[in-house]
Amino acid sequence: MMEVTVQSDNQDGLSTSSDDRPLVQNSERGIVHCGGLTAFKDVFAALVACLGAVSMGLVLGFSNPALLDDDLLRVLHYDKEKQTWFGSLVNIGAIFGGPIAAVFVGKLGRKTTMMLCTLPMGIGWLLIIYGSEYILVFCGRILTGIAMGMISLAVPLYIAEVSSKERRGILGASFQLFVTIGILGVYALGMALSWNWLAVVCLAVSTLNVVLLLFMPETPRWYIMNKQRGEAYESLAWLLGSDVNLDEAYNEIEGNLALQSTEGIMIRDLAEPGIYKPMLICLGLMFFQQMSGINAVIFYSSSIFQTAGFAANPTIPTIIIGAVLVGATVVSCLLMDVAGRRVLLLLSGVFMTLSITVLGVYYYLTEVKHTESLSWLSLISVIVFVVFFSFGWGPIPWLVTSEIIPARARGIVNGLATCINWVLAFVVTKEFQSMTQGMHNYGAFWFFGGFCLTGVLFVWLFLPETKGRSLEEIQEGFSVAA
């Protein structure tokens, strides 16, 4: 973090260095000129934090190429049930990672929590690298899952609190973008590397993330919540750059925190409209995100395309899916602060409903009507589904959750939302194969299509637009609406 020093005061109330370059504001004047600072430092801090999202994507996508490696299948005794557990255990770990991070982000800070994610992540990858027995590999998957759950809570919260309101949409959506970059990266590298060396690369990315975080600031909001005025000004100066009224920025945050109270919440406080309304919206968004069936598509895309006629080389369609994830999320990031969160979610949900329904129709025609030569239909359906998930329902629930929850409830509500998200991710991932056996492939995908449609109705009825509004304005709106 930038070190702010005051050496002498001139008549204009600005502190200067020996070469007369303004360094830091006088608290009575509220104008800052931070020598050497460039604009968009909040962008840089957000991008460093998003390396954690890359690590999360590597964990999410790892099982897909790894389970094509005969050496890993030997470790798993060629047991289909063990292979299913290998794919889904990360979600078990993430269920615990969310609540752990919810405690740490309040007690230790957002930045420190992100750095602590590296501990279970590193140990987990080492167990996978050197795991000669499936128990060790399973333990590694659980630990990397714990880190993934911590990342999914801490990183969006950090980004939301360091970003200016003008850039918060694109930077908030960048979390999901970097998750998809991680997924694409592990898919692509899996074509050339064995599962052990693939884990080595994943460990290296996590290590780089913690090193870069050492040079990033803690969020001003966390400092203000913990009565650390000097550190809060220093963080604001680092993030906002030169010629910015830091007193105004500080007072806006402090005033809202004072209005909300940061003393924590009791059970009875959950009855307040300013808390329960945004909380229910967050939980609903996380529920419909996972019940869209996205994890079933991501984790089992190789097997989906094998049954769809791409058995000769199922990794090629998988790479296509990874690239589509990245490309569509880039477009979403660019549109986030233009079109708005609500519009993108509605558009995304409609096309997800249509595409996954068509995928069900494909399986119905091939399994019941025995229609041939329709493999292209499954590929197009999955690609359209992934595009529009990345367009809205992928990045926006995480962004909105970090935007609408009041500061004093942010830890517990974000932890609860993250926990529910990963519980559902585990259920969908673990039970997808059982669903296809009991409901057939077409029934399973139509089942997910029903939730996609219900998610559209949920957004239409309950989600307000947050585009272009400060965190303070968004959270105040729920209380006023009451």
107-137: per-residue pLDDT in tens? 899 999 999 999 999 999 999 999 889 999 9
Is 50 exceeded by the pLDDT of residue 30?
Answer: no
Instruction: For residue 350, give the amino acid letter.
Output: V
Cα separation of the two ends of the chain: 41
Judged by average pLDDT, the poorest of 5-9, 107-111, 288-292, 402-406 is 5-9
* Tally of residues, the chain: 482
- Which range among 280-284, 308-312, 452-456 shows the weakest confidence by mean pLDDT? 308-312
Residue 5: the pLDDT is: 33
Q: Which two tokens stand for residue 202?
A: 């994943």
Comparing CA positions, the residue from 170, 169, 148, 174 lying closest to residue 48 is 174
In 10 A of CB 215, how many CB atoms? 11
Two structure tokens written together for 364? 């119905």
* Element containing residue 8 per DSSP (H, E): strand 8-9
Pairing mode, strands 15-16 and 8-9: antiparallel
- Residue in this structure with the two tokens 């097997």, named with its chain if needed: 303
C-alpha span between 52 and 151 (Å, rounded): 6
Main-chain dihedrals φ then ψ at residue 292, nearest 5 degrees: -70, -20
Question: Has residue 216 got a pLDDT over 90?
Answer: yes
pLDDT the model gives residue 470: 67
Query: Residue 34: is its pLDDT beyond 50?
Result: no
Alpha carbons 447 and 442: distance in angstroms, whole number:
9
**Pairing label, strands 22-24, 15-16:** antiparallel
How far is the C-alpha of 236 from the C-alpha of 252, rounded, in Å? 12
| Other CB atoms within 10 A of residue 3 CB | 7
How many C-beta neighbours within 10 Å does residue 41 have?
19
Phi, psi of 451 (to 5 degrees): -70, -35
Whether the predicted pLDDT of 25 surpasses 60 = no
Which residues touch 57 (CB under 8 Å, ≥6 apart)?
Answer: 178, 179, 180, 181, 182, 183, 184, 185, 186
CATH topology of domain 41-216+261-481: Growth Hormone; Chain: A; (1.20.1250)
Q: What is the pLDDT of residue 393?
A: 92
Res 40 pLDDT > 90 = no
Both tokens assigned to 273: 């409209």
Query: At residue 91, does pLDDT exceed 80?
Result: yes
Domain positions in the chain are 41-216+261-481
Rounded Cα–Cα distance for residues 295 and 304 (Å): 12
**Average pLDDT value for the chain:** 82
Residue type, 282: C
**Which residue shows structure tokens 């050339």?**
192
